[in-house]
Each structure stands twice: as C-alpha cells, then as structure tokens.
Amino acid sequence: MKGRLRRAEEDARLKERIEAVTAIAREMGLDFFPMRYHIIPADVMLAIGASGMPTRFSHWQFGKAFYRMKLHYDLGLSKIYELVINSDPCEAFLYEGNSLLQNTVIVAHVLAHSDFFKNNVYFSRTNRRMVDSMAASAERIRRYEIAYGERRVEAFLDAALSIQEHIDPYGTARETGFWWEDADAFYDAAVDGSDRRIEGSDRQGEAGSAEAPARGGGRVGGGDPPGKKRRWGLFADLWALDERLSGNDGKRSGAGGAEAEPPARRRFPPEPEKDVLLFILRYSTALEPWQRDILTIVHDEMRYFWPQLETKLMNEGWATYWHRKIMQALPLSPEEAIEFARMHAEIVKPYPGGINPYLLGWKMFETIEAKSGREGMFEARELDNDVSFIRNHLTEEVVRELDLFVYGRKDDVWQVETTDWTAVREALIRQRIGGGFPLIVVADGDFERRGELLLRHVHDGPELDVRSIEQTLPHVHRLWGRPVHLETVLEGRTVRFSYDGIRHDRTALA
C-alpha cells in the first residue's frame, strides 16, 4: 500500500514537471507533436532500443543487439535514459529507474527531438503512423512464418536485411520509374497461393523507363498497338527478334525485302539505379509474392529510419542544446542543480577514438546562436542534414575547442594525420554522406545478356571490406535468383567479385 502511494506521489510530481517543462519549451519557440509518455522497465527499454521500434517484427539480429546492450547495461558501461519515436503523437519512453530530475531532463530532451522530427525537411515525408504500420507488418510476417516455416522466412529476412541500407530514401516509385501494388495486394497473393505478378503503369513511360526490359513479370513502358501481343520477361528482346524474323510484326523479311537487323542492346536500367532493394523487388524472377511483401516491408521501414541516420549529429545536438536551456529556466534545488550538472557532463563527455554527436552538435548550435541568433538556429534545424550542417556551420574555433583531428593507420601504428580544421571538416562530411554507408548502384540488370545482376561500388576513397562482400553476395543471389557481381576498387585496381550460387570468384579488371 505504501509503495503504491509513493508511486502515485512520484507520478504526480513528474506530471507537474512535464507540464512545467512543456510550457517553457513552447515559450522558447519549440513546436512539437502532442506527446505521450510511457514509464517502462529496463528490459523493455533495451528491447525497443535493439529493434528501433516497440512493434517491429522479430529477428535474431535484434536479439543480438539486445544481448550486447543488456551486457553493457549490467556492467554499468552504458545506460539508456529514454527513447523517442518519430510519430504523431510522439511516443516517449522513460526508464522507470530514473530519478525525478533525470526524467525532467529527458522530457526536455525528447521535446526538442519531437520539434526536430516535426520541422526538419528531411522528416517531412516520413510515415507518422509507423508504429501501427510496423505492427501490421510484424503480424503479416508472423503469418508467413506459419505458412512457409520460420527458418525459410528467417533466411529470407537475413537476405533482405543484408542490403537494407542500399535504397534511395527520397525517391518514389514514379520518380525512379518503378511502380508496384500496395502491400495488401502482396499479402492477398501470398495467402491465397496465387502467383500474381506486379503490373506496371502505362504512365511509366513518362518517367523514362520504357527502355528497360521487364523483370519478374512486371510490365514497364507505354501501351502497344491494338491487337498486338507484347512479350514480357527476361528474354523479351529475343521474342521480339523472333517475331521480326518470322514476319509476325508486319515487316516481312525475305528475298524481296531488306534483311532484318538485330536490335541494339538497351541498357537496363537506363541509368545506374541507387535503390538496389527496390530494383530487386521490382525485377527479380526468383521471388514469390510473400517474399516481395517482405522486401516491401524492409524497404518502407528503412525509408522511415533514414532521416534519423542522416541527421544524427543535428538531432542530438539540438536536443542537448534545448534540454540545457530549459533546465536552466527551471527553479531547481541546489541538489537538483548538482545532479543535472553531473548528468549533462556525462551526456556530453568526449568519446575516446570517436565523435560524441551530443557534444559536437550542441557546440555547433551554440556557435550558430552566437553568430546568427535563434533565428539562424531554427533555420538550420529546418533545412540541414548532417552533411550540410557540418559544411556550413563547423568552425575552426569548435574544432580547436574540442581538440578534433584526423587519424589513420601507418605501418601498423595508429597516429594523428592532421589537425587542420578543414581536413577535419571534410573527414566528418565523408563519414556522414549517405548515412555513412557506401554507395552501391545497379549497373546492369541483364549483365552479359544472361539476366545476371551487376552491382557497382561508387568508390570515393574508403575500400569495401572483402569479407563483407563475400558474405553479402550469397544473400543478394538468394534475392535475385541468378549469378550476381560487384565491382569495386581495391588498392587502386578495379576488381569484380562474383557469386553463382556455388562458388565465389574474383576478377581483376584494370
């Protein structure tokens, strides 16, 4: 009974603090979504942190992340104070072991995150109902596990997640020349056992994709003349050649006519395609409807998470700046002021061997405020991602204050390469381009005219890890169903890695 009363008193005090912090945040100009707060135990907090969402599908990779986070938590190496979900209303999760002061800081912190989610342009196209969408997706995947077996579904998820970062996060189906049915149609096809393929839009020709042969039964391009049967699929060009030679296209060849010329090979795709996952979803001949649905789920979820990857430095710096300002405006007791100072110092302490985004982002926003005032801060919050934020606002003074430098390995020894602030800035930008992931594009979806998939690494300095290449290509082969290749640069030479379903091969091209 006493425990319940004490808990009720603590909840009442926290509610008062939430109201006070919210009022101050609004007075300072923050514009956030309606908030919902949840107080949860450590194991639930870690489980959500491992998967990124409270309703996501189950997979062993999330379990692995949970174990690592739990181990660090048990050893006192790290602690998750809060989690906040980009949604409307915004869901914030507070650890039940936090003190009142800690939860007060966290409320100020998550209000700034919510403001960032709502107003940064890179979040403008995200699904604000993703919690519900992920719950529905997780249920569909559970049903696939029942229908097709847990191991088979898990193996396919392994393959899908191995290339989940290789998407075009801000493209659309129409903009990239792709079009597909909604997820419900995939699910209906999967559960009723039909093998309905994805039908394209006749308007796709307007997007410039009419030159590409269709894959996976998909249909690309404009309409055909009435009464003419059009061939689709992997060998559509051969069907067309056969029809010309046989005279079925209305242009007979023979003794009295001009000899038919074989068609010139059309590039497929017409331009290198950045969205590898969507390309496979659209054109693979090896996928069943339920597998296409899972690829759609993975693609949609990665597009939801992508803005957070591209704005990690800004988002955490923004939240750190505002939790400090809001806490300074609150009437704290001397004991609470000391506790806050310790907590803030823990949040912004430098990381050994790396960059603390809370610290660097906070210092950069303070620099903007000193130079351009609050108006400049809000403008950066609205328009920038990490790359433009660093390029436009990282100053020599911040680099010197935080003692930042570029280091590398030479003769098996790690050493400082330079402390020049412009070199530091460029190194940070390179780390943040594309969320920090290498750029892989589809160079040819009909490589050597055998329906094989050729991927190309857009090399910009750092080399790919050979072991990772050889571990990932079998997953891509599972998705594509035919031999797959990846071209990259190693030690200044172009190398093509290949996998045909049985063995790996490596060919030096230049």
Q: How many degrees, rounded to 5, is the angle at CA 361 between CA 26 and CA 125? A: 65
Specify the pLDDT at position 412: 83
User: For the chain, what is the mean pLDDT?
Assistant: 85
What is residue 188's predicted lDDT score, i.e. its pLDDT? 53
pLDDT of residue 334: 95
pLDDT, mean of residues 454-475:
94
389 confidence band (pLDDT: 50, 70, 90)? very high
Indicate the residue type of 42: A
Q: Select from 186, 183, 191, 81 the least CA-distant residue to 134.
A: 183
Amino acid of residue 181: E
| DSSP type of residue 510 | -
How many percent of the chain have pLDDT more than 70? 81
- Give the number of other Cβ atoms within 10 Å of residue 464's Cβ: 18
Q: How does DSSP classify residue 501? A: S
Q: Are 234 and 197 in contact (CB under 8 A)?
A: no
Contact 111, 28 (CB under 8 A): no
Condensed to tens digits (0 to 9), the pLDDT of residues 133-154 reads 999 999 999 999 999 999 999 9
- Residue that wins the pLDDT comparison between 16 and 174: 16
* Residue 257 scores a pLDDT above 70: no
Rounded CA separation 295/300 (Å)? 8
Residue 301, pLDDT above cutoff 90:
yes
Least confident of 154-163, 168-177, 348-357, 468-477: 168-177
Q: What is the pLDDT of residue 6?
A: 73
Q: Is 417 left (phi over 0), alpha (psi -120 to 50) or beta?
A: alpha
Residue 94: both structure tokens together: 């507070």
Q: Give 202-255 pLDDT, tens digit per residue.
A: 333 333 333 333 333 333 333 333 334 433 344 444 444 444 433 444 444 444
pLDDT digits (tens, 9 = 90+) for 99-111: 999 999 999 999 9
Query: Count of H helices and E strands in the chain?
Result: 17, 10
Question: In the prediction, which pLDDT does 77 show?
Answer: 77
The kind and range of the H/E element at 257 are none
Q: Let me know: does 53 contact 143? Beta carbons within 8 Å.
A: no
Domain boundaries, the chain: 130-199+271-309, 438-508
Rounded Cα gap, residues 306 and 435, in angstroms: 8
What's residue 235's pLDDT? Answer: 45
Q: What is the DSSP string of 412-480?
A: TEEEEEE--HHHHHHHHHHHHGGGG---EEEEEEEETTTTEEEEEE--SSSPPPHHHHHHHHHHHHHHH
Lowest average pLDDT, out of 15-29, 183-197, 345-359, 375-389, goes to 183-197
- Over residues 71-99, the pLDDT tens digits come to 988 887 777 888 999 999 999 999 988 99
pLDDT tier, 353 (very low <50, low <70, confident <90, very high otherwise): confident
Cβ atoms within 10 Å, residue 60: 10
CA gap 502, 368 in Å, rounded: 56
pLDDT value, residue 264: 62
| Token code pair at residue 471 | 């571990």
Task: Convert the pLDDT of each residue in 154-213 to its tens digit.
Answer: 999 999 999 999 999 987 543 444 444 444 444 455 555 544 433 333 333 333 333 333
CA proximity to 398, closest of 352, 366, 357, 427 = 366
Amino acid occupying residue 20? A
CA distance 410 to 416: 10
Helix, strand or coil, per DSSP, at residue 375: helix
Q: Which 3 state secondary structure label does DSSP give 358?
A: helix
pLDDT interval class at 388 (50, 70, 90): very high
Q: How confident is the model at residue 114 (pLDDT cuts 50, 70, 90)?
A: very high
**Range of weakest confidence among 177-186, 222-231, 365-374, 391-400:** 222-231
Q: In which region does residue 444 sit, left (phi positive, over 0), alpha (psi from -120 to 50) or beta (all else)?
A: beta
| Spatial contact of 94 and 102, defined as CB atoms under 8 Å apart | no
Q: What is the pTM of this model?
A: 0.82
> pLDDT grade, residue 1 (50/70/90)?
low
Run of H or E residues at 172: none
* Pairing of the two strands 35-40 and 90-95: parallel
